[in-house]
Amino acid sequence: GAVVSQHPSRVICKSGTSVKIECRSLDFQATTMFWYRQFPKQSLMLMATSNEGSKATYEQGVEKDKFLINHASLTLSTLTVTSAHPEDSSFYICSGQASNSPLHFGNGTRLTVT
């Protein structure tokens, strides 16, 4: 079945630094990728939608300059958390979708900002 690989699974960084999270579709072409964020004991909240080759569309309240999303190819999307702060600590999950197909989720990345 279709697989989405997300890396790293866990990262700890210092406040003020930037962190990049990669999301790869391994055996399908993800024309659209979604990035979600999940706080402890809360639901997944959509942060942004990215289509290959175009700018990401961010949900209301999500700072596009802080959460940089790149979807340069049909198999790779990246989320960079810039100038991270402790409040950015969360679980970030990506999902990929080929045209008119179900979503396939990555394993998630646990980000801890100290």
Partner 1 sequence: AQRVTQPEKLLSVFKGAPVELKCNYSYSGSPELFWYVQYSRQRLQLLLRHISRESIKGFTADLNKGETSFHLKKPFAQEEDSAMYYCALASGNTGKLIFGQGTTLQVKP
Contact residues for partner 1, defined by CB under 8 A? 4, 32, 34, 36, 41-46, 49, 93, 95, 97, 102-103, 105-108
Name the DSSP letter for residue 18: -
User: At closest approach, how far in Å is the CB of 14 from partner 1?
Assistant: 27
DSSP for 33-98 reads EEEEEE-TTS-EEEEEEEETTS--EEPTT--TTTEEEEEEETTEEEEEE-S--GGG-EEEEEEEE-
User: At closest approach, how far in Å is the CB of 99 from partner 1?
Assistant: 9
Nearer to partner 1, 58 or 84 (CB): 58
Give the C-alpha separation, 110 to 4, whole Å.
16
User: At closest approach, how far in Å is the CB of 44 from partner 1?
Assistant: 5
Nearer to partner 1, 51 or 82 (CB): 51
